[in-house]
Structure 1
Amino acid sequence: MAKVAFLVANDFEDSEMKNPYEEITKAGHEAVVIGLEKGIQYKGKKGTVAYISELTVGDADANEYDAVVIPGGSAPEDLRVNDEVVKFVKEMHNNSAVIAGICHGPQVMISADILKGHVVTSYRGIRDDVINGGATFIDKEVVVSNNIITSRTPKDEPAFIREILAKLNS
């Protein structure tokens, strides 16, 4: 089974963390919550869920993971300015691991400079950022471009989760 990193900071979009996390673990994969600090409780922006980080991103070894999931909300803005987060995502991409981001999640991919030549989707508000990061943007519920999986909003979660599980199970 696969080992999946979930990158979190406060104010992630609740369902964009909760639903993929639950479905990935239900499918038998190992999910590891990784934050900027270890042992900190990170809360969703709607306050319906919270997760305690098991590791700091600086202590996480990209070689040990098959995928990383980046939920949206306000958290990606905090994550993308952290050099360890950027390094981790870049290393995961260099290892051809699955990089999955929904809503504002692709902001971290932009900062890791991994979107050039890929086709992606995202929350409409960061469309220009994605394009300026070198990607081709399309407005679709889910887009798979090699190892990168992107979706727009919570309503697209079923398709987002389906494509993550398809990659993990292939």
Structure 2
Amino acid sequence: MQRVLIIATDGFEQSELEKPRDLLVEAGAEVTIASIEPGEIRGWDKKDWGQTVPVDLTIGEVSVDDYDALLLPGGQINPDVLRTHRKVIDLVRAFYAAEKPIAAICHAPWLLAEADLIEGRTVTGWPSIRTDLVNAGAAVVDEEVVVDDNLITSRKPDDIPAFTEALMAALDMAPAD
């Protein structure tokens, strides 16, 4: 069984956490949600606050050795808050150093830039962060999913099926029928 860690906080894009999580679980993965605080985190659903999801672990309780991949949902608020937390950035770097897949969608590639992981890499992301990605040294393209070694990036909620399929492929998982 593949084990996937999702890191998120309040303001995550509702669909970008829930849909990949559900597809991964349906395909047989064990999915854990970690955040900077225990309890629950609230999503952002298009134009207003969405539903909450329970937090399984805090960032300080996570060991990279316990997981096969990292998934970073977007939303504008979520990654902007997360990138200011050193423990989050250190954890992203640890997944990268362990050569485990890191999947980041929408605004979440900001975390990859903050962790200094995209210089010389090809990525995509939400249009408003593309200049930031270029300034961090990445080649930025406008495609639904980009796989560059262990980094998987996508642009928006419409890309979730391709994004999740790319992560499953990196984990040698077959989608559920």
TM-score higher than 0.5 here? yes
Spell out, residue by residue over 1:123-163, the C-alpha distance to the aligned partner (whole angstroms, 9 max, x if none). Answer: 01000111111211001110000000000000111110110
Does residue 164 (structure 1) correspond to residue 163 (structure 2)? The answer is no
Q: 1:84 aligns with which of 87, 90, 102?
A: 87
Shift of the alpha carbon at 1:17? 0.5
- What aligned pairs does 1:20-35 form with structure 2 within 5 A after superposition? 20-35=20-35
Shift of the alpha carbon at 1:49? 3.0
Shift of the alpha carbon at 1:62? 1.3
Q: Which residue of 2 aligns with 1:60?
A: 62
Q: Which residue of 2 aligns with 1:113?
A: 116
Q: Which residue of 1 aligns with 2:16?
A: 16
Structure 1 outlier segments of 4+, above 3 Å: none
In 2, distance between residues paired with 1:26 and 1:165?
11
- How many residue pairs get aligned? The number is 169
> Pairwise CA RMSD of aligned residues?
1.0
Aligned-pair identity (%): 36
Spell out, residue by residue over 1:74-132, the C-alpha distance to the aligned partner (whole angstroms, 9 max, x if none). Answer: 20001110000000000000000110000001011111111122100000100011111
Partner of 2:34, secondary structure, is strand
Assess if the C-alpha contact under 8 Å between 1:33 and 1:55 holds in 2. yes
In 1, distance between residues paired with 2:54 and 2:164?
22
In 1, distance between residues paired with 2:137 and 2:25?
33
In 1, distance between residues paired with 2:19 and 2:126?
18
In 2, distance between residues paired with 1:99 and 1:49?
25
Query: What residue identity is the alignment partner of 2:73?
Result: P
In 1, distance between residues paired with 2:138 and 2:5?
23
Shift of the alpha carbon at 1:59? 1.3
Q: 1:94 aligns with which of 93, 97, 115?
A: 97
Query: What residue identity is the alignment partner of 1:52?
Result: P
Partner of 1:72, secondary structure, is coil
> Structure 1: where are the runs of 5+ without partners?
none
In 2, distance between residues paired with 1:75 and 1:32?
17
Q: Which residue of 1 aligns with 2:140?
A: 137
The answer to which of 40-49 and 80-89 deviates more is 40-49
